[in-house]
Chain A
Amino acid sequence: MEKEWKKQNPDGSYTVRTCGWSPPGDHPVGCGMKLTIKDGRLIKVEGDPEHPITQGRLCIRCLTLPEYVHHPQRIIYPMKRVGKRGEDKWQRISWDEAMDTIVEKINYYKENHGSESIIVFGGTGREACLYYYPLGFASIGTPNVCYPQSGWSCYGPRCAITDYILGAGYPEIDFAGHFPDRYEHSEWKVPEYIMLWGKEPLKSNPDGFFGHSIIDMMKRGSKIIMVDPRINWLCTRAEHVLQLRPGSDTALAMGLLHVIINEELYDKEFVENWCYGFEEFKERVQEYPPEKVAEITWVPKEKIIEVARVFAKAKPASLGWGLAVDQNPNGVHLGHALLALVALTGNIDVPGGITIGPPAALMGKWRMETRTNLPEELWEKRIGAKQWPAVSTALATTHPDETLDTLETGKPYKLRMGWFNSSNFISPTNSAQPDRWYRALQSLEFCVVQDLFMTPTAMAFADIFLPLPTFAEHDGVVLTHYGRNAIFAGAMNKALEVGECKSDIEVCIELGKRLYPEIWPWNSAAEFFSDQLKPELGFDFDELREKGLYQPGYTYKKYENGLLRFDGEPGFNTVTGKVELYSTLFEAWGDDPLPYHEEPPYSPYSTPDLAKEYPLVLTTGARYYTSFHSEHRQVPTLRAITPDPLVEINPDTAEELGIKEGDWVIIENMFGKARFKAQVTPTINPKVVHAAHGWWFPEKDAEEPNLFGVWESNINTLMPHKHIGKLGFGDTFKSIICRVRKAED
């Protein structure tokens, strides 16, 4: 890449090169682009052809960034509420006043009720993921940092499972991203098959994987196996599709393993040397013969056998696992089975297989280490940590469902102050029964919200609103997989300033300097990033700006050379030093050490009587190009493309129910109901419907009780609280039961 990252143009404008992250949201993919500024306004966003991963490509969420940055509804100054909660009455204040008020409140709650009475809520995916932990642990000083999704069901389970089974950071499809010469790199191989399990990477918001790399690899010969309850577009370009019943995934994975093990298609050398518990595992898969699995999953027996064979025989083969692993109370066992699938077929840490990173690196490591600011007895008060060791060992947060219980009961202690960073969770983003959270959160006495727009959550709870800058407006470092598999680190360069916004790290530093000055020595974000980068990589933030991005390269088969374990011995960084097909930790925590299928809490098979009343299986949350969770609904160009919340329904089912394309319908079950527009499509099974998540209506009345129409199409009101797995992970977002009827109005 060119060294010059900021250029003056002849017409008086200037152009800044950057790698995108958030806000507006996406996960750390770090797409390369050039931002042109004229007279203080972002006038143009253009893809950067020099960026080795995205090569100029850019999705419409970035292409419409000027509409977002200069949106008339954006909040660009600190505000304090001057009316009652839920009233749209605010007054602009200075950062000094905001910080003075906040510090006074923090000190008050600490002195009178203990630091643990303060809780930080963080949203998914945005850059805030690196900073809301330090905000809680080291700027505020509370052990209670919460990601409020039932069963922590987004990314965290996959990371935890990998930590326990492989002793590694996030396992990612090897798309040659680590190498500057990419697909031309001499060691890299084209995956012969790529299996995408509960993941549609083109539209979804990957954590370090540029989704259209799948297309790059298809053009180079990779064949695709899709495992998904919906026929999505990528399924139509795939070699094989396993269209399974939502929530039956673990049975399907075990069925594939049954074939691979019994037909001896597995990598014997790898199993012999690097896997623990193969005999027990082999015995367990005998419970999942393809004919039985076909009945459970609705996938034909022949397809299961065929796919097992082609996947096992492909060298190399890769696997991308998606949110469907997390959003399932049986998901830990699914994740375990899928890691076994890639291990047994010899595809871990090999070219064109699965890459693995360290459990944490750079800012990803720092964010966890900041908890040493807390004395041990305070850390012990972290909500739900003792009850759910499988969650609290890998993740430094509270247990989300226990947190709702605490808010409702005041036990083991009352939570009094809330800080919401980039989390709009009364909208149908991540919490189950957001209506219940909404009622419970009323008990918080003082709340701070950091965001860019007045969201339903901010309107309901904020006493102080702190405006965040977009990624065009602040310095940062994009770290793919939050450091759990750092395929590259990219420079995010501030191109302009809008109002008086401060980034996550700037707020952490500013607040930290007031409360714990000794651990916050930095005077700017750039200084902080230099200190993070230099010791590990040998260059500072300014040098990263000049490089554009840094790809570290990749060493394959690290397990052979002692590069995965902290003690330098060969093997994996697990209890047994091997890939644990038999999990010693799951056993220690009271779960089965081997994967098993368990029916979803509500399904045609687990609750047949209820299913008579609610005969359809509901799956939710497939992605659209036009939004990131609850974001982007106020961006005119994007909203014109996806104007309404859609439910996909099969033509046969629709006809039976008297529903036509474009009709408004009510989706309802035992827990709640939501209003959606029907999209009649044969791509969904007649017994299944799919509903979109994230919907609220920025154009509607802001004030209580309307809150931007947040309760109208709130699909998460149909999802019950605390329907989690034995280890504390999972929810019902991908599989619950419902009925659908035509709306009266």
Chain B
Amino acid sequence: MAKKGYGLLIDYEYCTGCYSCEVACKNELKLPHGKWGIKLLEERPWKINDEKWEWNYIPVPTALCNLCEDRVAEGKQPACVLHCLGQAMEYGPVEELAKKMAEKGTKVAMFVP
């Protein structure tokens, strides 16, 4: 069971779509092909105006995510957070993450799986 009151912050300004979270999670939870503890979703590119594009990746934790309770108990980061190439994920108490979201201001989300 995921620790109550804890969540994952995703800074999707810097999620580069690298799949490291997906694969690290599958390794950690020893999931077979076709099952995910976190899954990378893509909002495919489209043009806002002549200068700007929208193109976002966002990893979504699934019902199998237990926020790496064993790792966290050992004082480690959840596997997805550790391996994220963009260092765009953070684990912590929901209130603390909410504060960080407010500070960041844009392109940030939180999941409480």
Q: Which of A166-174, A486-494, A634-642 contacts B (4 or more CB under 8 A)?
A: A634-642
Chain B residues whose C-beta falls within 8 Å of the C-beta of A13 in the assembled complex: none
Pairwise interchain contact A681-B45, C-beta atoms closer than 8 A: yes
On chain A, which size bracket covers the interface? 35 or more
CA A202 to CA B26, docked complex, whole Å:
22
Chain A residues whose C-beta falls within 8 Å of the C-beta of B13 in the assembled complex: 237
Pairwise interchain contact A57-B16, C-beta atoms closer than 8 A: no
Decide yes or no whether B4 CB sits under 8 A from chain A: no
Decide yes or no whether B18 CB sits under 8 A from chain A: yes
CA A186 to CA B18, docked complex, whole Å:
32
A231-254 at interface with B (beta carbon < 8 Å): 231, 233-237
**A625-B18 in contact given A57-B83, A636-B33, A637-B23 (Cβ < 8 Å):** yes
What are 16 contact pairs spanning A and B, CB under 8 A? Answer: A49-B77, A56-B77, A58-B24, A64-B23, A202-B16, A202-B85, A211-B85, A212-B16, A212-B85, A212-B87, A233-B16, A233-B45, A233-B57, A236-B55, A637-B26, A682-B46
Chain B residues whose C-beta falls within 8 Å of the C-beta of A625 in the assembled complex: 17-19
CA A637 to CA B26, docked complex, whole Å:
10
Pairwise interchain contact B33-A682, C-beta atoms closer than 8 A: no
Chain B residues whose C-beta falls within 8 Å of the C-beta of A202 in the assembled complex: 16, 18, 85
Decide yes or no whether B103 CB sits under 8 A from chain A: no
Q: Which one of A45, A60, A64 lies within 8 Å of B18 (CB-CB)?
A: A60
Chain B interfacial positions (CB closer than 8 Å to A): 13-14, 16-20, 22-24, 26-27, 33, 44-47, 52-55, 57, 77, 79, 82-88
Pairwise interchain contact A641-B85, C-beta atoms closer than 8 A: no
Chain A interfacial positions (CB closer than 8 Å to B): 44-47, 49, 55-60, 63-64, 202, 211-212, 215-216, 218-219, 231, 233-237, 625-626, 636-637, 640-641, 681-683
CA A326 to CA B87, docked complex, whole Å:
31
Q: How far is the CB of A62 from chain B (nearest CB, A)?
A: 9
Pairwise interchain contact A60-B19, C-beta atoms closer than 8 A: yes
Pairwise interchain contact A236-B23, C-beta atoms closer than 8 A: no
Pairwise interchain contact B19-A231, C-beta atoms closer than 8 A: no
CA A218 to CA B86, docked complex, whole Å:
11
Pairwise interchain contact A233-B17, C-beta atoms closer than 8 A: yes
CA A682 to CA B45, docked complex, whole Å:
7
Q: How far is the CB of B19 from chain A (nearest CB, A)?
A: 5
Chain B residues whose C-beta falls within 8 Å of the C-beta of A626 in the assembled complex: 19
- Which 9 pairs of residues, A with B, have the shortest CB-CB distance? A236-B53, A236-B55, A63-B23, A56-B82, A212-B85, A60-B23, A215-B86, A58-B83, A57-B85
CA A49 to CA B75, docked complex, whole Å:
12
Pairwise interchain contact B19-A235, C-beta atoms closer than 8 A: no
Chain A residues whose C-beta falls within 8 Å of the C-beta of B55 in the assembled complex: 233, 236, 683
Pairwise interchain contact B14-A57, C-beta atoms closer than 8 A: no
Chain B residues whose C-beta falls within 8 Å of the C-beta of A57 in the assembled complex: 20, 82-85, 87
Chain A residues whose C-beta falls within 8 Å of the C-beta of B44 in the assembled complex: 681
Chain A residues whose C-beta falls within 8 Å of the C-beta of B54 in the assembled complex: 236
Pairwise interchain contact A63-B27, C-beta atoms closer than 8 A: yes
Pairwise interchain contact B24-A212, C-beta atoms closer than 8 A: no
**A640-B16 in contact given A57-B85, A212-B86, A236-B54 (Cβ < 8 Å):** no
Chain B residue at smallest Cβ distance from A219: B14
Chain A residues whose C-beta falls within 8 Å of the C-beta of B83 in the assembled complex: 46-47, 56-58, 63
Chain A residue at smallest Cβ distance from B11: A219
Q: How far is the CB of A422 from chain B (nearest CB, A)?
A: 25
CA A56 to CA B84, docked complex, whole Å:
8
Q: How far is the CB of A274 from chain B (nearest CB, A)?
A: 36
Chain B residues whose C-beta falls within 8 Å of the C-beta of A233 in the assembled complex: 16-17, 45, 55, 57
Pairwise interchain contact B18-A63, C-beta atoms closer than 8 A: no
Q: How far is the CB of A251 from chain B (nearest CB, A)?
A: 22
Q: Which one of A47, A212, A236 lies within 8 Å of B45 (CB-CB)?
A: A236
Pairwise interchain contact B45-A683, C-beta atoms closer than 8 A: yes
Chain B residues whose C-beta falls within 8 Å of the C-beta of A231 in the assembled complex: 45, 53
Chain B residue at smallest Cβ distance from A239: B51
CA A187 to CA B45, docked complex, whole Å:
39
CA A641 to CA B53, docked complex, whole Å:
24
Chain A residues whose C-beta falls within 8 Å of the C-beta of B82 in the assembled complex: 46-47, 49, 56-57
Pairwise interchain contact A215-B27, C-beta atoms closer than 8 A: no
Q: How far is the CB of B74 from chain A (nearest CB, A)?
A: 12
Q: How far is the CB of B30 from chain A (nearest CB, A)?
A: 10
